A and B are shown apart, each in its own frame.
Chain A
Amino acid sequence: MQQVNVLQEYFPKDFYGLVDTNHLKSIYMLPDPQSALDHILRLSSVNHGEDFQTFMRRFGTKTFATQDDFRWMLQAESEKNSPLVAAYINGTLVTPSDQTGFGNTEFELEFSEPWFSAPAQIVGEYNEVYPIYVKQGPTSFGSNYIYTCELITGNHNLFIPFDQLQAGKKFSQDFNIVETSFSTRGGTVSYSSPFSMKGVFSMLRMEDTRGGDMINRPVAWSWQVMENGRPVTKTLWDEYADWELEQQFQSRVNKFLIYAKANKTAAGTYLQKGDSGRYIVEGAGLHQQMSPSHFYSYNTFSIPWLTDRILSLSVGNIPIDRRKMMVTSGSWGIKQFHEALEDYSTIWSPLHSDLRVTMDKNNNMTYRGTFNKYIGPLGIELTVQLDPTKDNTERNKIMHPSGNGVAESYTYDILNLGSTTDTSNIQICYKKNEEIIYKIMKGLRSPDQLSGTAKNPEVASMTLDAYKIMRATTVGIIVYNPLLTARIVPDILNIS
């Protein structure tokens, strides 16, 4: 690592695993009467905001009794259009010279599914220009279904052009019209079967072994943590190690929840085995579960463009009164959003307001105000929330070509969190009683050792003069309806 400046006395060293006194001596972390350091400062910190788990817990978590796979069902729309397979007149395929339906004559339409039922009025791409009355059907025809139809019109000269009866042309049901009295049948209800989604639990585990000589070992520096709302100064190595373990564990759980890629094969099996010979099960994280949904790339960011994207995600999917969406982004993405909104707002009304400029009694002037919420047309309401993981320079290695931040910082995740009726659309789930697994394995010496005596010895779990901290959780994430989410990414082509 490069020297920050000439005042830097030591170079940082990275190490992992077992740490003993010699390690600390080698990196100048043992007390030194001449040391001028009181508190340690981190050169780069990713701990600069609310983390993913904390953020998501605001919307509730889900707990399952067992570690088995969990399923949820999604329902497709019960109204849809169906593509035409073929059209016939008296059982013969229509040809370009045919005037299908001319003079209210019968013709047959073939579809791959029995979506309509006679009596019904269906329409093709030109809708009511060629209203079709379904007289009979569905009748099974090979693997498809045939409907006997005629044009429902008083115009005897009307016929359906050949180009409107090509395979793939879409037809939809309008209504079920019957005779005004003595009718004997009506149209039936169309159902769309729900489809199943499945998630799995994964177990994440970390551990740290510390030598007996490290218990209550003071170090040359101190740091402050908040305990019961008050800053408390810590100076012991094991306290620091506990804090570091928990920070890194939470960070890795966050990464799992966002970035994990399921390792299940198409056959439903797993391939990777651990030391025990049993399978390693990795469930799908947030991004993989969002991946079959919307993906928008951009090279120019603007509010009208974003509005179009949000509308295309919302129309037909989200009721107009529920289009309040959370957009998470990195710091640079939020800045970009702010600037785009500022540009957009000045189009409509130059900001003559003096609210953004303040002056104190010493004539110091301040310009203030960040745009982080946008209320657009048709009920769209966007609130931008900082996602610190997007600014993480350790994981996100590709820099944005502007030179400001990493490319990931410019991505936007649209998380429609609250659109389902009784629960958040995205939830972290835990196995019951396994959200926090924290265990200690005691050796000859351990941090909470009792004064064992010959008559009443304390039990140790290993002969080693050390103790081991084990941290684990059984966790997964559910995106109930991925279609209510989207990823917006800058379209950067890596030129090497």
Chain B
Amino acid sequence: MSEVIKKIRCPLQNKKVVVRVIISDDAFFESINKDHIALGGYPSAKKTFCAPINSITNNIINPLTADEQEWFESSECNLGFKPGDLSSLKKKDNFWSSTTNEIVLTKEGKTYDLSSPEQYLKYVILRANKEYIAPSWEQRYDRGTYMFALCDGDEDVKSKIKKTDLLKDAWREYGKIDESVNKLYDFLCVYYIKSKKKDITKPKRNMSLDELRIEVSDIIDKDISNFLSIIKSNDYHTVVLIAKSILLGEIIPIEKGLRYHIKSVDYKGTMPEIVSYLKDIKLQSEKLRLENVIDEQEKKL
């Protein structure tokens, strides 16, 4: 009689799962400050999870399905487990006991590579914690007990949400300058000076409104964080003055652009120091001089 050889299906998958902390809508820390350090847990606070106990039998629930257990205990898995080693009913040396196997999470979350057998065994513990871990980001509010959610690693929810917020913010700021040739040009001058990218071309004063709009919207598409940090800077108007002065050679970048030199007054400093210098109420003559030079130069064009 021929023996039937059962093929054990490998449960490993070529994907990643990200465990993300759930910030409850009623988080009372948020009412103090939306960036409060305790929102979602203190950074150093640890949350540990283990294979849960069955509320009826008082036994540890095996987080693996029968098929998964069979594969992990087979020679194909290569983790050295023998049949029965991963049983959750073992009285001694139980692999699933919290004294030997638990998951430690912080608010930073964690990523599990499901193609790795070791990481898959960690992931299944979280999967089995149906009281505390939501099976997906969309289901995170389905139970009040959920602390974390299992998210598809390919769909980085956090970065998606962040990007949407940034885009919303960026286009709002863009709306404040997109009707003005001067305002668009001012921004491009600052971006040109502040960006260290070599493929950025120097803005020209004779660019049309549409050309300027295309340039700035390209920057929003490709470098949104720098667009926002420049346009939302409290010192934006002073930085515009500095950028235009640099383009006219009135202020010269030194030390690989880490510091700047105002030629006429022989003052050297980093960008924040130059900004402070030009904002100093006692030194307004230099600021007025630079503004005059820029006005004169732009009238000629």
Contacts and interface: CB of A to CB of B under 8 A. Distances in A.
Given A90-B256, A142-B194, A491-B50, A297 B98 contact: yes
Contact of B42 (A142, A198, A262, A482): A482
B79 to A, nearest CB: 21
A264 B31 contact: yes
Given A91-B196, A139-B258, A292-B38, A495 B54 contact: yes
Contact of A490 (B53, B147, B255): B53
Contacts of B271: 139-140
Interface string A265-294: 111100000000000000010001001111
B45 A294 contact: yes
Nearest to B43: A76
Contacts of A268: 31
Given A401-B56, A491-B53, A483 B45 contact: yes
Interface stretch (B2-10, B126-134, B174-182, B287-295): B126-134
A296 interface: yes
Interface stretch (B20-28, B69-77, B157-165, B210-218): B20-28
Contact of B198 (A92, A305, A402): A92
A263 B33 CA distance: 16
Interface stretch (B11-19, B112-120, B223-231): B223-231
Chain A contact-residue range equals 35 or more
B37 A401 contact: no
Contacts of A295: 45-48, 147
B31 A266 contact: yes
Nearest to A290: B45
A491 B34 contact: no
B55 A136 contact: no
A300 interface: yes
A142 B230 contact: yes
A192 B49 CA distance: 32
Interface stretch (B57-65, B201-209, B244-252, B278-286): B57-65
A398 interface: yes
Nearest to B100: A300
Given A148-B258, A491-B50, A299 B272 contact: no
A255 to B, nearest CB: 18
A146 interface: yes
A304 interface: yes
Contact of B99 (A300, A316, A317): A300
B31 A299 contact: no
A146 B271 CA distance: 12
A492 interface: yes
B98 A142 contact: no
Interface in A196-229: 196-198
Contacts of B61: 493
Nearest to A303: B99
Interface string A306-327: 0001001000110000000000
Interface in A90-119: 90-92
Contact of A299 (B36, B42, B98, B257): B98
Contact of B272 (A140, A284, A297, A298): A140
A305 B32 contact: no
B44 interface: yes
Interface in A391-439: 398, 400-403
B135 interface: no
Given A143-B225, A483-B42, A267 B48 contact: no
A146 B195 CA distance: 12
A141 interface: yes
Contacts, number: 159
Contact of B131 (A264, A316, A402, A494): A494
Contacts of A403: 58
B130 to A, nearest CB: 6
A261 interface: yes
B57 A297 contact: no
A299 B51 contact: yes
A88 interface: yes
B131 A142 contact: no
B270 interface: yes
Interface string A145-157: 0101000000000
Contact of B33 (A140, A196, A300, A402): A196
Contacts of A312: 46
A401 B48 contact: no
B53 A492 contact: yes
A495 B58 CA distance: 11
A182 interface: no
A195 B27 CA distance: 16
B54 A401 contact: yes
A302 interface: yes
Contacts of A494: 55, 131
B96 interface: yes
Contacts of B47: 294-296
B29 interface: yes
B136 interface: no
Interface string B236-274: 000000000000000000011111000000000011100
B45 A293 contact: yes
A261 B26 contact: yes
B53 A267 contact: no
A88 B132 contact: no
Contacts of A304: 99
A142 B226 contact: yes
A302 B29 CA distance: 34
Contact of B53 (A265, A296, A401): A401
A146 B272 CA distance: 13
A88 B129 contact: no
B256 A143 contact: no
A136 B258 contact: yes
Interface in A35-70: none
A321 to B, nearest CB: 21
Interface of A: 76, 88, 90-92, 136-137, 139-143, 146, 148, 195-198, 261-268, 284, 288, 291-300, 302, 304-305, 309, 312, 316-317, 398, 400-403, 482-483, 490-495
10 contacts: A142-B229, A143-B228, A263-B26, A291-B41, A293-B45, A294-B45, A297-B98, A491-B49, A491-B129, A492-B131
Given A148-B256, A491-B131, 19 more contacts: A136-B255, A137-B258, A141-B196, A142-B194, A195-B33, A264-B28, A266-B30, A288-B28, A292-B42, A295-B147, A298-B50, A299-B52, A299-B60, A299-B98, A309-B48, A398-B55, A401-B56, A482-B42, A495-B55
